[in-house]
Amino acid sequence: MTTFNPLYLKVYNLLLNQIRSGKLKQGDKVPSEKELADQFEVSRITSKKALDLLSEENYIERIQGKGSFVIHSDAAIDASYSAKQDSSKRHLIGFILPGFDESYGIGLVKGIEKRCSELGFTILLKLSYGRKEIEEQAVNDFLDMGAEGLIVFPVHGEHVNNKLLELVSKNFPVVLIDRFIKGIPASFVCTDHRRATIELTNHLIKMGHREIGFISPPSEGTTAIEERVTGFHIAHSEQGVKLNRDYILTEIKNSMPINEITESQVFKEDNLILDNFLKKHRSITAIVACEHSIGEQVAAGLSRLGRRMPDDVSVVCFDSPENSRIQFTHIKQDEQSIAIKAVNLLKEKMLDSDFAVQQIFIPHTIIEGKTAKAFSMK
């Protein structure tokens, strides 16, 4: 079993070993922040943190404009080194996610924070707002701060986060939640989105619905959405119900994190797309909405067209909060279990760099609401 140390501690320990071995003696000048950054291929922030830590513990003295110099004797260093070995057991964890609200995400944040507290971990939190560049910058920032592991709720998109791929290839502890990323062999914890959508669609089929629509954001390589689309297809096949591909709409963008400046315009575009879809396919008697926000958009769209839910069209979705204005029949994901499993996986990887990649699917439940009813011919 090996303990993974953040980058600044690796620089710190190497310098400390050079001092203890006599390679760097009392009065010797220590390599500069820039020299260390170049030597270890790390940022200046990382090398500065290593030197600051040596200074705080009186191994070196940092003199403005001159550099850093060894000030300790071997005996004092031996005692301080032992103390440092204990303090280095503190763990800093980074958690990156696109955003959260009452329908999905708050439970993840609370669950991860609670489990980290139980394990004595300190957690760093960053929202990516669905933007890959913010996600990548957060990874770099957390590493510079000394994070020993990362839990990442990846953003939508087909392009692989190169920084995450690099970290996973170097065996750095990374756990993904909610979805996995094709091409990145990292452990992940999520709902079985395919199975959940199969069950949700089967629920409508058992109610007698045969003309069923499916509405989601663009998949764009996002495995959670891709799996839900696949589940919708499989449910029709398993139940012997003919699938009308024209009933599948994957163009709704307002459910994805977007810039506030463009939000109003995107929402208007979504409403136009949705209204045209509902007008064109009046034969649809039920709709599977990929996300709760889309379920609400569908409900509003039906209302604009003078159609009632569930009398005219049944609507089901994922993740409807208890205090929602509309009580949807929905898939309830177990955010608490996802959070706990993710932190536990990360802990195992931090303790053992050879810990095998794990793929964990957390069970879900279907909650009956007031938006779906049995189909009857009128």
> Which CATH number covers residue 45?
1.10.10.10
In a domain, 212, yes or no: yes
| Helices 223-239 and 193-206, axial angle in degrees (round to 10) | 40
Q: Which tokens in the block code for residue 284?
A: 């649809």
Q: Examine the fold and report which residue of 25, 55, 87 is the final residue of a domain before the chain moves on.
A: 87
In a domain, 140, yes or no: yes
Q: Is the pLDDT of residue 80 over 70?
A: no
One domain for residues 209 and 288:
yes
Residue 288 CB coordination number (10 Å): 30
DSSP string spanning 56-94? HTTSEEEETTTEEEE---HHHHHHHHHHHHHHTT-EEEE
H helix runs in 44-192, sequence order: 44-56, 74-87, 106-119, 132-144, 162-169
CA dist., res. 168 & res. 7, Å (int)? 15
In this prediction, residue 197 carries a pLDDT of 98
One domain for residues 239 and 348:
no
Q: How many structural domains comprise the chain?
A: 3
One domain for residues 241 and 254:
yes
Neighbour-count burial of 316, counting CB atoms closer than 10 A to its CB (0-12 exposed, 13-18 middle, 19+ buried)? buried
This prediction has a pTM of 0.74
One domain for residues 137 and 246:
no
In a domain, 375, yes or no: no
One domain for residues 212 and 157:
no
- Please state whether the peptide bond connecting residue 218 to the residue before it is cis, i.e. omega within 30 degrees of 0: no
Q: Is the pLDDT of residue 214 over 50?
A: yes
Q: How would residue 336 be classed by pLDDT, with cut points 50, 70 and 90? A: very high
In a domain, 268, yes or no: yes
In a domain, 22, yes or no: yes
H or E stretch including 38? helix 33-40
One domain for residues 179 and 201:
no
Q: Examine the fold and report which residue of 44, 68, 87 is the final residue of a domain before the chain moves on.
A: 87
Helix, strand or coil for residue 269?
helix
One domain for residues 61 and 114:
no
In a domain, 378, yes or no: no
Pairing verdict, β 67-70 and 187-191: unpaired
CA dist., res. 54 & res. 36, Å (int)? 14
Q: Is the pLDDT of residue 4 over 60?
A: no
In this prediction, residue 298 carries a pLDDT of 95
Residue 171: CATH number of its domain: 3.40.50.2300
One domain for residues 197 and 324:
yes
One domain for residues 163 and 150:
yes
Q: How would residue 361 be classed by pLDDT, with cut points 50, 70 and 90? A: very high
Q: What is the mean pLDDT of the chain?
A: 86
In a domain, 62, yes or no: yes
Q: Examine the fold and report which residue of 61, 87, 113 is the final residue of a domain before the chain moves on.
A: 87
In this prediction, residue 121 carries a pLDDT of 92
Q: Is the pLDDT of residue 77 over 50?
A: no
One domain for residues 144 and 203:
no
One domain for residues 13 and 124:
no
H or E stretch including 292? helix 292-304
Q: Whole domain around residue 19: which residue ranges?
A: 7-87
Q: Is the pLDDT of residue 262 over 50?
A: no
Query: Which 8-state DSSP code applies to residue 363?
Result: -
Q: Is the pLDDT of residue 79 over 60?
A: no
Please give the share of the chain, as a percent, with pLDDT higher than 90: 53
One domain for residues 174 and 158:
yes
In a domain, 276, yes or no: yes
